[in-house]
Chains A and B, each alone.
Chain A
Amino acid sequence: MAEKAILFDVTKCMACRACQVACHQWNDLPAEMTTNRGTYENPPDLSPTCWIKIRFNEVPKAGGGVDWVFTRQSCMHCTDASCIEVCPTGALYHSPDGFVAYNEDLCSGCGYCVEFCPFSVPRSAGSTITGIRKMKKCLFCADRVAEDNQPACVKTCPPGALTFGNRDDLVIAGKQRVKEIQATYPSAYLYGEKELGGLHVLYVLTYPPEVHGLPAKPEVPLAASVWKNALQPIGWGLVGLTVAGLGLNYIVARATVNAERERITRWMCPTCGYIRQGDEPPDQCPVSGDPGKKFTRMEE
């Protein structure tokens, strides 16, 4: 099967953020309560409920003025994928289309993928009901792609800054586009053709990768390879099932530690059930109008 990819053309993105909304909608992700921090950019970061976002960078121009640069931030679906390397349970794996697929049932919530991703994409969250932690990230709309549909973000993109297709074709298209814009943007570059064995999200960049918030030379961290190729086989292979049980115990324990570290406090409005994340409840419920002091703190 030909590998699939998404091509993101920075020169066509106008940051309408329809992709962010489409992702929420298709994947049924709730909205975050955000604040205006003095920027158009929101939410502030990827999160368990935000799998794609547009970065807004004001880049000073050589001759004065600024260039407002919009860059898509989401899972890059690497060929040399650190997250797959370190995933102890096989929850993360390469789909036949080439993207990084995910079987959530197998996820133990260990959070190694969160730590080792060179693009800082995966996020981990515990369920408010069961307390079980799971990794969250862009799934390439595997369910849509399986039925020959485009990923939701691509489908909705009004200017066609996102295109979806066979990776080989998109590499050719991306290189062609880079040629077209090089007169205007001398640093133009097709990011993802070679990086990490080839990404399944290709970027036509106008500036050096760092300006777009991307690592210039992304690498699989050494520790990730060591974990996958040396420690894990030792753990599972040599010591046998008892130790494997211990290993599992360790993973679960680690998940709990992570949960503790990343614990987010939630407050619920007793009248309408509205939930606010944060250290304190809001002054007033934005839905029912009840005062914040009536809110109850929710336990994990």
Chain B
Amino acid sequence: MTNHWVDIGNADVILIMGSNAAENHPISFHWVTKAMEKGAKLIHVDPRYTRTSARADIWAPMRSGTDIAFLGGMIKYIVEDIEKNPQNYNIEYLREYTNAGWLINPGYAFKDGIFSGYDASARAYSNKSTWQYQLDDKGIPKQDKTLKDPNCAFQLLKKHYSRYDLDTVSRTTGTPKDSLLKVYQTFASSGRPDRAGTIMYAMGTTQHTVGSQNVRAYSVIQLLLANVGIAGGGINALRGESNVQGATDHAILFHLLPGYLPMITTAHPTLAKYKELTTPVSKDPKSGNWWKHRPKYMVSLLKAWYGNAATKDNEFGYQWLPKIQAGVNYSHIPLFEAMEKGTIKGFMAWGQNPAVTSPNSNAVRKALGMLDWLVAADLWQTETATFWKRPGVDPKSIKTEVFMLPACASYEKEGSIANSGRWTQWRYKAIDPPGDAEDDLWMIVNLMNKIRAMYSKEGGPNAEAITKLAWDYGEHPSPHQVAKEINGYDLTTGKLITNFVGLKDDGTTSSGNWLFSGSYNETGNLMARRDNKDTSGIGLYSNWAWSWPLNRRIIYNRASVDLNGNPWNPKRAVVKWDPAKKAWSGDVIDGFGANSPTEIYPFIMQVEGMGRLFGLGMADGPLPEHYEPWESPTKNLLSSTQLNPAAKVWRPQEQGTPDKFPYVCSTYRVSEHWQGGAMTRNLPWLNELFPEMFVEIGDELAAEKGIKNGQKVIVESARGQVTAVAIVTARLKPFTVDGRKVHEVGLPWHWGYAGISKGDSANLLTPYIGDANTTIPEYKAFLVNVRRA
């Protein structure tokens, strides 16, 4: 989240899209309800009418996988309305804080769904040079603050979305035109400087072949409406697990090191090269360009890992770290493809249950059987832990040796937990775990203790990478020691470092994750703070726990004030500049220190300092463009390019077609169960509420197919089939797509063959296809057929 949970209560308009927040993030509705009590309007855009829609002022149905068409129409509406009614928008914000007026390389082009620089043989944009700014002779990007230059981002945006008229959008999304217009008008009403609009989204946005561009479209809209950086605004990802924000911050993804430092690849043979290639350079004196500090964070990370063994002479241990192959994708789907091929021989499934949660679960379960060994660390014997005795499989035919490490639940261990709003809260152990269960920290430390002992004794390839680690946790590791290591030290004094501003690239400081530097310093464990008084008036609760970065509650908050440092909306002031004292008050100011508002541009994490209407760094184009999902019931009406041309396809032979699989299907969760279901399908109270796997079918389709409410039906895709109880409902209606009726059905993905409540896994149906930027699988839009069981 750019903002945080409490801040949702400050919004005037709330757009929930790609999320069923009421069901999957119930506590968010504590704050949504507070906003609505003050008169806020709630919009829900979703293929289904859900428990969120039931609470919304406006529900707009939209066929799964057509978000960019929907949002492109909104961009077109706002851009045109800005020109017609500028008094309803914050033009100064648009001109001064976004790249609306920045001139783009005249070579930039877009033709029939393809941006300039595309290499069809590689299915990638291999040349992105035309997606860059025009530079003046000092190397500073050129601007036209009138926003009239045909090559400025605003004009390119206008041109790009001119195709997204109401008619075409409605024919694509299946959303009635009056609903589209109502949503556009209502959300655009948050563009006034004294109003705020927030976007809440989740996996319904991201789990698409265009998932990253879906989020980019939110960014464009929120920048056009001056909603980034302000109270009640922002782009707010509702994270689906209690500490998944912390997991992401600490680099659970293959392409990242802790604190969003890029992964080391074969393109970075030396630390010097790594620094050179990953550190952005700006010649603009007004660009804060915060990532220029990246080398300090990287060296401090190496010092945290290798301690005294990391010296200037050995590149602080850089060469001990394994380097992934540059350009090779190591994300979720390829991992299981590599297991099936036998490239990966061992697998630790740590609090994850891919036999249920991965797309194309049949393929995943088969891949697990190709492993030499599998370790499952979990609270329960999950489907992954018991894949070798799943229904229809002879355990004797599986050679994989499986180990189970019983793990502690959250209340059985101490540590920190970072929520979606970046608040990192310390929590304590409440009860002892059952039996031999241990916490994750204990497991990883003791596992590594043994590995280190073996490497010390027996040696092995790249042994020093392991033996030289600063690994002094003992047999009973303390979460406080780890939290301090993450915060980092001034190695000259031995004291905890105050925050990341003090980190250096000369080996005199350490920090396990620069973003969390400041969370546990000499003033104490700030994550454990529990002062629930709010002095801000906008619910920052700055002395409750700690929020990265630097306890800042709303990021990009410098954009919440005008060029004089006065809040756009004094009633919901986030920060304010006092020119006499030369100081900022309010929330922790974003990257400015004592700099005045005119000294540095507000979006300090971007090299040019601007909020990007025109995105420079994406894999699949600088502007979000609608492409159909991999499996779609229709041809793309906005260009002849059917699929995102940079999306990853793994198994082209497993693509279903609308003649055999005529219905759109999406997968989702319910309030009553959680993720792969291990934690909830073993709880009778929750099984009582949702006892069986089900499929939601619109009443019209059910009538067509002779399916009655409560009957068992079979849902099948090109990958597999599931049996489920039909919930026949008036809440799902067919879409009119390009003049044809298209039905959509939906499945929860909580079930599997382990636990008390058993059922077929929805992911037996989902495809192996990923987003162009992140390779997140397309769980949310694919094709199925439905018939009576």
Contacts and interface: CB of A to CB of B under 8 A. Distances in A.
Q: Are the chains A and B members of one assembly? A: yes
Contacts of A17: 671-672, 689
Interface stretch (B69-77, B269-277, B517-525, B724-732): B724-732
Contacts of B688: 24, 31-34, 42-43
A25 B733 CA distance: 37
B224 to A, nearest CB: 30
B498 interface: no
A20 B689 contact: yes
B29 interface: yes
A161 B670 CA distance: 19
A16 B671 contact: yes
Contact size class for B? 35 or more
Interface in B156-181: none
B29 A36 contact: no
B186 interface: no
A24 B32 contact: no
A240 interface: no
A288 B758 CA distance: 13
B51 A36 contact: no
Contacts of B727: 36, 38-40
B433 to A, nearest CB: 20
B300 interface: no
Given A16-B22, A286-B756, A287-B756, A158 B29 contact: yes
B29 A14 contact: yes
Interface in B697-740: 708-711, 725-731, 733
B110 interface: no
Contact of B689 (A21, A35, A66, A67): A21
B686 A21 contact: yes
A66 B730 contact: yes
Interface in A21-58: 21, 24-25, 30-40, 42-43, 58
Contacts of B685: 21, 24-25, 31
B730 A286 contact: no
Contact of A16 (B26, B53, B725, B758): B26
A140 interface: no
Given A158-B29, A159-B32, A16 B691 contact: no
Contacts of B29: 14, 158-159
Contacts of B52: 14
Nearest to B733: A65
A267 interface: no
Interface string B619-660: 000000000000000000000000000000000000000000
Nearest to B59: A65
A52 to B, nearest CB: 12
Interface string B285-302: 000000000000000000
A25 B683 CA distance: 12
A15 B53 CA distance: 12
A138 to B, nearest CB: 17
A33 B689 CA distance: 9
Interface string B662-694: 000000001110000000000011111111101
Nearest to B23: A16
B725 A38 contact: yes
B142 interface: no
A103 B728 CA distance: 43
Contacts of B323: none
B49 A42 contact: no
A18 B30 CA distance: 13
A70 interface: yes
Contact of A68 (B726, B731, B756): B731
A36 B671 contact: no
A4 to B, nearest CB: 23
Interface in A204-237: none
A160 interface: yes
Contacts of A60: 730
A159 B9 CA distance: 12
A286 B690 CA distance: 15
B116 interface: no
B62 to A, nearest CB: 14
B773 interface: no
A35 B54 CA distance: 24
B30 A66 contact: no
B49 A65 contact: yes
Nearest to B53: A68
Given A38-B709, A39-B727, A68-B54, A158 B30 contact: yes
A161 B690 CA distance: 22
B248 interface: no
Contacts of B51: 14-16, 68, 70
B30 A42 contact: no
A133 B692 CA distance: 32
Contacts of A160: 30, 33-34
A42 B689 CA distance: 5
Contacts of B59: 65
Contact of B728 (A20, A30, A38, A65): A38
A12 B33 contact: yes
Nearest to B27: A158
A66 B54 CA distance: 9
A50 to B, nearest CB: 8
B214 interface: no
Interface centre among B26, B30, B727 (most CB of A within 10 A): B26
B757 interface: yes
Interface of A: 11-12, 14-18, 20-21, 24-25, 30-40, 42-43, 58, 60, 65-70, 158-161, 286-287
10 contacts: A14-B26, A16-B51, A35-B691, A36-B691, A42-B689, A58-B729, A65-B49, A68-B731, A159-B55, A160-B33
Interface of B: 22-23, 26-27, 29-30, 32-34, 49, 51-55, 59, 670-672, 684-692, 694, 708-711, 725-731, 733, 756-758
Given A21-B686, A38-B725, A287-B756, 16 more contacts: A11-B55, A14-B55, A30-B684, A34-B691, A36-B691, A38-B727, A39-B709, A43-B688, A60-B730, A65-B59, A66-B731, A68-B49, A68-B51, A158-B27, A286-B757, A286-B758
Nearest 8 CB-CB pairs, A to B? A38-B710, A31-B684, A38-B709, A14-B22, A36-B692, A68-B54, A159-B29, A31-B688
